[in-house]
Each structure stands twice: as C-alpha cells, then as structure tokens.
Chains A and B, each alone.
Chain A
C-alpha cells in the first residue's frame, strides 16, 4: 500500500498573533484547530484522528478530552520541530489504511508569555494539564485510588463482587507459577486476595499489578522481510484505537475505550469472538480486566464478574485463556506500562512458544489489548488482533 494520492491537505491556519498573554496553551490548540477546520469547511465533529506533540499533558489523550474529540486514531510522535511534518505523513498513512477520514494536526505554545500565565500551587499540574487542578488535588494520585472509583461503581451497577475480581488475580497467578522470570510466582487463592491489605476500597493489594523495572520490544516487518527471515511470524489482522475521556463531565466509570477499539479491531480483522483462542488483557488492576472483557464483547455488559469466575480465564481450558505469562498482576508491568508485554505473550502463543503448561493448543488467533491513562478519567485504548502467519 502506498499513501501516494491517498490523502490531501484541505485546511490550514496560522495563529495571527505572536504574543498571547491571555490564552492558555490548550486554548491556542483549540483556536488553531477551529481555524484550520473552518478553512477546510469542516467542524470539530468531523474529526476522527488527532495528532499533536506531547506538550499538552498526555498529548492527544488530554487534548481529545479538552476539545471533545472522538477519535479512531491518535499519534503524538515527538521528534522536535519536525514532529508536525511527520504527523502529516502519519495521517496520510492512516487515511490510506482506512483508519480515519479527517485528521487534525495542531501545534501551540507560548514561550514569550508563559511566565505570566498562571500561578503554580501545591498540586494539580500546570497550564498544559488543564484537567489537573480538577482531579489532582483530592488525593487521587496513585492509580489504585482512581481505579477503585471504577470498581465501586461497577459493583454498584452490576453486582460485581470482590470475589469475582479476585478470580482474575488467581488465574494470573496460576499462569505465573510456570514463568521462572515472573515477579510473583506463587499461586494464590480467592481467600488470599481478599485477605490481602485493603489499599483503596474495594481494591486490595492483590487486585493491583506489580511494579517492575524492565521493558520489551517487537519488530514489525513487511511480508517480504518476514518471508526472508524464516522465523514464525504473527500476522497483524486488525487494530483499533480510541480515547475515552470525561466527555464534558458525563463521567461513566463502568466502561472503557475498549468498547470502540475492540469493535474497530474485530471489524478490520474480520473475525468474531469465538475465533479468539487467546487474549492478552491489560491488567493494571483486576477491575481493568473485568470491564475490558465486557467492552471487547466477550460477554454482556455487567457479566464480566461471572465470565472470569470458575477458572474462566485459566489456560489452557478456560473459556478465554488470558495473560499466560502471569500478566501485569504477577509477571511484569515494566515502568508502569503493560502494553508491550501484552503483545509479546500473544506472539508467544501464536508461535506455540508459551510455557507448555499454559500453551493454548492450536492457537490460531490472539488478541492483545492495552489501556493507558486511568479508568476514572481518560484513557487510551488499543486492541490488536493477530493470527498465524498463514491465517
């Protein structure tokens, strides 16, 4: 596939001012966004892809929330002043690939005026984290406190129980016992999870992932190179992404962005849930897994607690074997970002290289899902569906 002739720039806008003492950086992003869209004869609601650098809070996650965008594609490639050129190229590639139709790229900053631009208090981020002062001052720091809010509401609406959440940890621990590199290798029981110290109601210590150093990497290549290497490859069948945010105060803690990213990935891959032999599900906390499984469509909304019960996630015979490396709950959550290890274990399963005790027989199609940010405010959700190389 080539991007030649597959994308066109239809709007452009340069902010007319050179000194802007009376606007915040997010406001300037908003002004130039509207300017370029107006030039194109489009509106904010037409935008389905957004590109910016990392300067505004968490980059596109923060700004999609601020601007009220609902995107199927985001990118914050940070390569200094050349970033925005790259963003145009990435946007064209994404459009050529059918990932999006209207990509907005913005740049904003105010180094001349920044010193007079606000008062830095004891907490809540700065001007470039416009949400910070309304979320960071009440002791929500530490991800577990925020995720606990989601767990509480899920329990309230759907009757999910602490025992059901514990089943997620138990399954991960049963897998981790076979991973000699796992941070926690000892199997645990539901009772042991419930007896572990309460950290932030209703989440116990064992509802939380491990904190580990480390990292990971994957190499993605063209079909030609893949053939040349002769190494067993996992074929990318589908991908979907989304940012779920606070939606102008209409916070709903009972679902995640997987509702959108999953649907997009399944559609692109052309497979259905029954085709998924193995799933790597982001497991920062046990509640993350329960909500994500529902949102990906493996069960009805609110039934995630039942889905994970009775060994539902345990390999190789559970209804959906998950996180056979032990996941973030037991194995590894390097630098507090678990997405890479989710992809790696899915590749192991497709290659038949997972530990024999947890290898899914004849694993043809695998799913890997990542969740960045917070279930309580805004998150990036990305779903990847991979298959055998001849799938």
Chain B
C-alpha cells in the first residue's frame, strides 16, 4: 500500500466486485496506482473501465497510469449514508474530473466536509479493502 490516508470519519472501504474486465484496474489500486483504460484505435480514455471503447467500438484497450490529480466537479455532504456508510456520516460524495478528462464518482476525504468546493484541486489516495484491492478517493491537493 502506498499513499495511505487517515480515514477521516472512518469511511468504510467495501471491496469491489472484480470482473474479468477490471482485474488489472483493481490490482493496480493495491499498488497505489490509478489506471485508465485507453483505446488503442481512437486514443480515447475510457470510463467506467471496460474492454470496450464506447467512442469508436474498438475492443482493443490498453492501461495507462493516470496522474491522480483532478478537480471537484460536484459534491454533496451525505447526512445518512447507506449500509456501512451510515456510521461514517456525514461524508463527502463527489464527482472528480481527472486531469485526463473522465469524471469519476468518489469521495473527498482529508478535510472538513464543509470546506469542499466545486473546482477544488484534489489528488488521489487509496484505502485498502483488505481483499487485495483499494478504493480510490481524493484529498485536497498538497500545496
């Protein structure tokens, strides 16, 4: 594990369903790497991750490492989280726009929820699920 982070509110880290299409993505999270699928034919980044390019229909897809930097596209402070998130509420649910373009659903951690703003620069952190994968979350960018 790299770039571990305090859970700031003890957010749960439920393990994802890992499919044949997402094995590499989730394996990389355990190494502290955020991968993006990229279409070999048209060059589009692909999100959500899959072995299919919805821009051109190609099934030839490679993995590239994302910078892990982005900005908050939208967010909400959830007062009543579902399931294991209930005890961790309030917490921030967000869409972060990655530097590479895709807008990804995630949490913003490592700061007071009330301090989060649209447009805020953030960087990725990983929270171990205990099952060989890690959830990608984002904290305010350093400096």
Residues of chain A having any CB pair with chain B under 8 Å:
22-24, 26-27, 30-31, 34, 43-45, 65-68, 117-127, 129-135, 137-142, 145-146, 148-153, 156, 197-203, 246-251, 253, 376-377
Q: How far is the CA of A25 from the CA of B69 in the complex (A)?
A: 32
Taking a contact as CB atoms under 8 Å apart, the answer to whether B82 and A31 are in contact is no
Given A149-B75, A199-B79, A121 and B14 contact (CB-CB distance below 8 Å): yes
Name B83's closest neighbour in chain A (CB-CB): A141
Taking a contact as CB atoms under 8 Å apart, the answer to whether A140 and B47 are in contact is no
Q: How far is the CA of A48 from the CA of B80 in the complex (A)?
A: 40
Q: How far is the CA of A22 from the CA of B59 in the complex (A)?
A: 14
Given A149-B75, A197-B79, A251-B73, A132 and B135 contact (CB-CB distance below 8 Å): no
Given A139-B85, A139-B91, A149 and B74 contact (CB-CB distance below 8 Å): yes
Given A138-B93, A139-B107, A68 and B55 contact (CB-CB distance below 8 Å): yes
Q: Which A residues touch B17, using CB under 8 A? A: 118-121, 123-127, 129, 132-133
Q: Which B residues touch A140, using CB under 8 A? A: 82, 93, 105
Q: Which B residues touch A247, using CB under 8 A? A: 54
Q: How far is the CA of A37 from the CA of B107 in the complex (A)?
A: 40
Is residue B46 within 8 Å, beta carbon to beta carbon, of the partner chain? yes
Q: Report 21 cross-chain contacts, Cβ distance below 8 Å, ordered by A residue.
A: A26-B50, A68-B54, A117-B19, A118-B18, A118-B19, A119-B17, A119-B18, A123-B16, A123-B83, A126-B19, A127-B17, A130-B21, A134-B47, A134-B49, A139-B88, A149-B74, A149-B95, A152-B75, A199-B79, A201-B77, A251-B103
Name B107's closest neighbour in chain A (CB-CB): A138
Q: Which B residues touch A127, using CB under 8 A? A: 17, 19-20
Distance between A154 CB and nearest chain B CB, rounded to angstroms: 9
Name A37's closest neighbour in chain B (CB-CB): B57
Is residue B104 within 8 Å, beta carbon to beta carbon, of the partner chain? yes
Name B49's closest neighbour in chain A (CB-CB): A134
Taking a contact as CB atoms under 8 Å apart, the answer to whether A148 and B76 are in contact is yes
- 14 new A-B pairs (CB below 8 Å) besides A27-B59, A200-B80? A119-B15, A121-B133, A122-B129, A130-B21, A130-B48, A135-B105, A139-B107, A141-B81, A142-B82, A145-B82, A200-B78, A202-B76, A248-B44, A251-B103
